[in-house]
Amino acid sequence: MKTKLGLGIGFCLIVFFSSISAIAQNGEKYFTKDGHVSFYSETKIETIEADNHKATSVLDSENGKMEFAILIKAFEFEKALMQEHFNENYMDSDEFPKAIFKGAIANIDEVNFGEAGTYNVRVEGDLTIHGVTQAVSAEGTLEVDGDGGIKAVSEFPVKPADYDIKIPSVVVDNIAEEMSVKVNIDYKVFKR
């Protein structure tokens, strides 16, 4: 009898806690599978630019958590040989196929996902490129259109040296020490 009671209470507790967790997940989630991420390197000798239109990302409006996965081989260059060298000699794309970001909007309290408007945000988290993880932060904007869409825009610097990406001395004048990374995402509401 006592055990049955225990089980009953236990069951209630499980239901209780799972409902809490359901409430916790109540905030909308937003996603994209075709986000635009690009980088730009400029030196006196050469300008290098590459675009990726296949970035996936999820944004949780409840807690501001944000994640990105970017397929390195999906970066497209103007010159075919540059693209080959990028994957083959610099990024080791077969070994490290993706760049990953896991972080959160630090000032999520200032964003009202229910009201159309442009909000300045600061995103902090861990960026993994070429198998190396670094803590990063970036300023950006969230543009809530009030119709279920959010446009996220940011630009921040990335140094190849921080991610163990070696630039040989013969091309050291062609490749910038610091690249500018641009993120341009159109999030849509995620429906289960």
When asked if residue 58 is in the footprint of another protein (CB under 8 A), the reply is yes
Nearer to another protein, 56 or 157 (CB): 56
Nearer to another protein, 7 or 116 (CB): 7
In terms of Cβ atoms closer than 10 Å to its own Cβ (0-12, 13-18, 19+), residue 174 is middle
Torsion of CA 74, 53, 37, 120, to 10 degrees: -160
Nearer to another protein, 9 or 161 (CB): 9
Report the first-to-last Cα separation within the chain, whole angstroms.
Answer: 41
**Cα(164)–Cα(129) distance, rounded to whole angstroms?**
9
x/- contact string, 155-184, with another protein (CB under 8 A)?
-------------x-xx--x----------
Instruction: Please choose, from the candidates 158, 73, 144, the residue with its C-alpha nearest in 3D space to the C-alpha of residue 112.
Output: 144
Nearer to another protein, 118 or 164 (CB): 164
Residue for token digits 């949780």?
60
When asked if residue 9 is in the footprint of another protein (CB under 8 A), the reply is yes
x/- contact string, 63-102, with another protein (CB under 8 A)?
--xxx-x-x-x----xxxx--xx-xxx----x-------x
Give the C-alpha distances (Å, rounded to integers) separating 7 from 12, 14, 17, 84: 9, 10, 15, 62
When asked if residue 122 is in the footprint of another protein (CB under 8 A), the reply is no
Binding site for another protein (CB under 8 A): 3, 6-7, 9-11, 13-14, 16-18, 20-21, 24-25, 29, 31, 33, 56-60, 65-67, 69, 71, 73, 78-81, 84-85, 87-89, 94, 102, 168, 170-171, 174, 190
